[in-house]
Copies of this chain bind each other. A is one copy, B any other.
Amino acid sequence: MYIKNSWYVAADADELGRSLLGRWICDEPVVLFRKEDGTAVILEDRCPHRKFALSKGELVGDEIQCGYHGMRFDGAGTCTFVPAQDNIPPRLKARAYPVEERHGWVWIWMGDPAQADAELIPDYHWNTAEGWAPVKGYLNFSADYKLLVDNLLDLTHETYVHQRTIGNHAVAHTPMETRAEGDTVYVDRVMKDCAPPPLFKKARGFTTNIDRWQHIWFKPPANIWIDAGGVPTGDNDRTNALNWMVLNSITPERAGSCHYFWGVSRCFSQDDAEIGELIRNQIIATFEEDRDIIETQQRYIETDPNDKPLLAANCDAGNVHARRIIDRLIAAEAAA
């Protein structure tokens, strides 16, 4: 059960071109490509004829030609050609998904197309905005997307999991402030006069303690923004800060797996390519540490013979809000 009436990131804009990309989203196989004019198209990946993967066919102009029997489908999923017959049965139609390209990502709407309002696309403008220098990436995790939501809403684990990059003692030992407003969850943690974590020192050259902050917000199904940074203790000049937006959008793939689209966009040393590479490499290493945790957690949850619920400590206050919102929206869709 997923939230269907919602935008999900289907691909990074750079992944899409004039070849066919197959991907599973919310248990549905889809095929993605760009038309000759660059417009993104997403169709159901099962050929409506005999269910072969359209993504294994080829592009002929703006149409997909199925690799098995040569039937062709345009960007709206309409069949335009059936070999050796003139009439085209109307039921030979591939589902076409609403698609929008924004903030460097290609978005898909999995539910009722009539409700696919582009204004509902979450605001990730930092991926492409003036004055911000982004690094972006994609990872596939063998874990339920909600475990990754938990991970990003409760950064307590940085102290234990990420001590080589972004973890310091202060994160785990400083309480958070959490609140929900409508479908948005806010989690804030301010850590005064603490030791800078290793990546902060490498990326910004801190030699003293810092005042560190993490301002997080969540919107369903699985969008998490983290305004994270630090300045030398007591320094009020933000031009001396390390400050980046950690941009996370998670898309369910199949039961027990998810797509993780991430970006880290900084507002310092924007033109320093070495700093960009440093951040990219260290963030990937950091997320691979999360993968090890979360994929293990997935297996241990799946195999629990008692299916006991996850317990919540204070640090889970944000997670609890987020899961309630997700559950409520799924229930509302089921009821509708």
Contacts and interface: CB of A to CB of B under 8 A. Distances in A.
A68 B157 contact: yes
Given A70-B172, A160-B67, A84 B52 contact: no
Interface in A144-190: 150, 154, 156-157, 159-161, 172-176
B51 A92 contact: no
* A interface, over-half SS: loop
A156 to B, nearest CB: 5
Given A49-B311, A89-B313, A150-B50, A70 B160 contact: yes
Interface string A39-55: 00000011011111100
A27 interface: yes
Interface in A259-314: 292-293, 296-297, 300-301, 303-305, 310-311, 313-314
Contacts of A150: 50
Nearest to A297: B52
Copies of this chain assembled into the complex: 3
Contact of A69 (B160, B174, B301): B160
A291 to B, nearest CB: 13
Given A160-B69, A161-B67, A315 B173 contact: no
Interface residues of A, number: 53
A85 interface: yes
A159 B70 contact: yes
A83 B315 contact: yes
A82 interface: yes
Interface string A60-90: 0000011111110000000000111100010
